[in-house]
Structure 1
Amino acid sequence: MVTLKEIAAAVGVSSATVSRVLNYDTTLSISNRKRQAIIETAEKLNYATPRNRNRANVQGLTKLALVHFLRPEQELVDPYYVALRLGIESRCAALKIETVKVYHTDAKPDAGMLQSASGVIAIGRHDEDEIEWLQRHAKQLVFADHAPPDDQIDSVQADLRLAMEKLLQSLANLGYRRIAYIGWGDRRAQAFVQWMTKAGWFDDRMFRSGDNTEQGGYRLTKEIFSEKRPPDAIITFNDSMAIGAYRAIHEMGLTIPGDVGVASFNDISVAQFLNPPLTTVHLPAEEIGEGAVELLLERVGGRELAKQITLASKLVWRGSTRQPPEK
């Protein structure tokens, strides 16, 4: 566990100063810059004050069941969901909360596992039957990366619809018109169809659904480029699919972004090392996980009014598309 001494050494102050800042001592005389450095360093090192470490136990959250909509092998090929889960687990570790992972299978998990936990965080999109089952067996329930159509259920997610709209508008401003989409039919896909239809540019031959893996990106990109009028830009569901799209484009002897631009979602670490580096939408995976834990803490602590939190995304421009003018 990270200590006050380690934080103090990183910032260049005393351990006593770190302790007083992290415990909100308003009598301490310290510059705002130094105070902010202490807080940011503590957060970066996943430090929790004794007050916060005890908060979970005091409120009755000692064990959390983490129910994933993916199978283990599916999660491993999508670093976004790994980061989201790690956000949950690191926050729980700091608060001394035990976690139990439950991955998707063909059968529902053991209800007793959920009932023995103080609360449940469900990751990703579950169908209506699964949501009803989770509500029936969980003492407290929060969704991460999905908001069920029920205003009594807590959730935290990124605004994928707005993110897609921002990305499309930015690509349009750069002169792209024949834009393709490959990936699952979720909120970003729905936003793509609606925005492109409103702009008068939608072509159903440029909209393909399939599994969100590198191989899926490769196959769907090949399919789209078999059309007589290929796209001038491709948006992929995630960065893993973009890697597959890169491979297909290079095999066809085309260049990125000279012949076709490529943009994606998630901003996983490998995105910046592709050739060329990938333009992508940064989604706050770890923050979604951390936020879900905080919502669960509030529920266990007695909050009755449901909260549905939406976090912001950010466009990260790199060399796989034309570049916007500098502001």
Structure 2
Amino acid sequence: MVTIKEIAAAVGVSSATVSRVLNYDTTLSISKRKRQAIIETAEQLNYATPRNRQRANMQGLTKLALVHFLRPEQELIDPYYVALRLGIESRCAALKIETVKVYHTDAKPDATLLQSATGVIAIGRHDEDEIDWLRTHARQLVLADFVPADEQIDSVHADLRIAMERLLQSLANLGYRRMAYIGLFDRRAQCFVEWLTKAGWFDDRLLRSGDKTEEGGYRLARDLLSESRPPEVIITFNDSMAIGVYRAVSEMGLSIPGDVSVASFNDISVAQFLSPPLTTVRLPAEEIGEAAVELLLERVGGRDLAKHITLASKLVWRGSTRAPAGKAAP
């Protein structure tokens, strides 16, 4: 738990000053700039004021069930979903909300786990039957990283279609034409097909579906690079698959980006340390988790109108692709 003392040390003011600012003491004489610095530092460190912690308790959000669409071992190999879950748990810890984790199994979870919680946050894609079951047993339900067909369910996500469109357009601006995509066939893949078809560049031999692991990326990349006309750039479903692509390229005696470029999604911590560093779309995993908690808090507090929050992604250029004009890829 972040303390007022740590915030005070980071900003260079007294603990008393931090306390008064975070508790909205209007009688405190302090510059607007310093007040803003305290608030921004507290947000960056994920500090929850006593007032906010009391808000959670007063509204009755004391226990949250976190339902994951992955099994524990699957989550561990996908850092994106680990970060999303940690965003939920860190926000709950700051607000003193108890969390219970329910991972995917072959059977539906024990309904009493959901019923005993004030609300449920479901991470990732769940089918309609699963969502109906969750709604039946949850007092309040928020979906994180998935947009439901039922607009009456709260959700928070990053728009993957917009992210893919931005990536494809940026690659096209750099002169790439023969683009490949590997991974699950989701909104990213749909956008890839539609965008390249409209541009007149789509080649169905460069679209490969497979599991989203490093091994999946390795296997599919070897297939693509064995084509008589291999792609100029391989776009992967996530950074884990991109790591597999790097291995395949190395084993085949090729180079990145000399022989083939690589771009991906998520921006996990290891992406910047690959050789060369990986160009990727940064998806706000932790922020999605934090926003899901806030949506649930509002619902428990009495909000009736459903909310759907879309958080922005960011394209991070690195050395695995040609750099845009005026930007030096690391």
Q: Which one-letter code corresponds to 2:180 in the other structure?
A: A
Distance 1:238 1:292 in 2: 22
Distance 1:29 1:184 in 2: 56
Aligned to 2:186: 186
Aligned to 2:261: 261
Per-residue displacement from partner, 1:32-90 (whole Å, max 9, x unpaired)?
33223212322233221100111111001111000000000000001000000000000
Tell me the secondary structure at the aligned position of residue 188 of structure 1. helix
Q: CA RMSD in A?
A: 1.0
| Stretch of structure 1 that moved more, 146-155 or 19-28 | 19-28
Superposed displacement of residue 3, structure 1: 2.2
Aligned to 1:197: 197
Distance 1:66 1:169 in 2: 37
Superposed displacement of residue 324, structure 1: 0.3
Aligned to 1:286: 286
Distance 1:289 1:40 in 2: 19
Aligned to 1:88: 88
Distance 2:36 2:217 in 1: 42
Superposed displacement of residue 6, structure 1: 2.1
Aligned to 2:325: 325
Superposed displacement of residue 211, structure 1: 0.8
Distance 1:245 1:113 in 2: 41
Distance 2:223 2:61 in 1: 50
Q: Which one-letter code corresponds to 1:109 in the other structure?
A: P
Aligned to 1:55: 55
Aligned to 2:171: 171
Distance 2:4 2:97 in 1: 21
Aligned to 1:273: 273
Tell me the secondary structure at the aligned position of residue 61 of structure 2. coil
Identity of matched residues, %: 84
Per-residue displacement from partner, 1:221-260 (whole Å, max 9, x unpaired)?
0111122110000000000000000000111111101111
Please give the residue correspondences for 1:5-44 in structure 2 after superposition, counting only pairs within 5 Å: 5-44=5-44
| Stretch of structure 1 that moved more, 11-20 or 307-316 | 11-20
Distance 1:206 1:28 in 2: 62
Aligned to 2:216: 216
Tell me the secondary structure at the aligned position of residue 155 of structure 2. strand
Confirm or deny that 1:311 pairs with 2:277. no
Q: Which one-letter code corresponds to 1:227 in the other structure?
A: E
Superposed displacement of residue 265, structure 1: 0.3
Distance 2:46 2:27 in 1: 25
Superposed displacement of residue 25, structure 1: 2.8
Per-residue displacement from partner, 1:266-294 (whole Å, max 9, x unpaired)?
00000000000000000000000000000
Normalization by structure 1: what TM-score? Answer: 0.98
Normalization by structure 2: what TM-score? Answer: 0.97
Superposed displacement of residue 149, structure 1: 0.8
Q: Which one-letter code corresponds to 1:309 in the other structure?
A: I
Per-residue displacement from partner, 1:190-217 (whole Å, max 9, x unpaired)?
1111111111111111001111110000
Distance 2:153 2:288 in 1: 16
Tell me the secondary structure at the aligned position of residue 151 of structure 2. coil
Confirm or deny that 1:145 pairs with 2:126. no
Structure 1: stretches of 5+ with no match in the other structure: none
Confirm or deny that 1:300 pairs with 2:295. no
Distance 1:32 1:254 in 2: 55
Tell me the secondary structure at the aligned position of residue 294 of structure 1. helix
Superposed displacement of residue 19, structure 1: 1.2
Tell me the secondary structure at the aligned position of residue 29 of structure 2. coil
Aligned to 2:123: 123
Distance 1:42 1:158 in 2: 24
Tell me the secondary structure at the aligned position of residue 299 of structure 1. helix
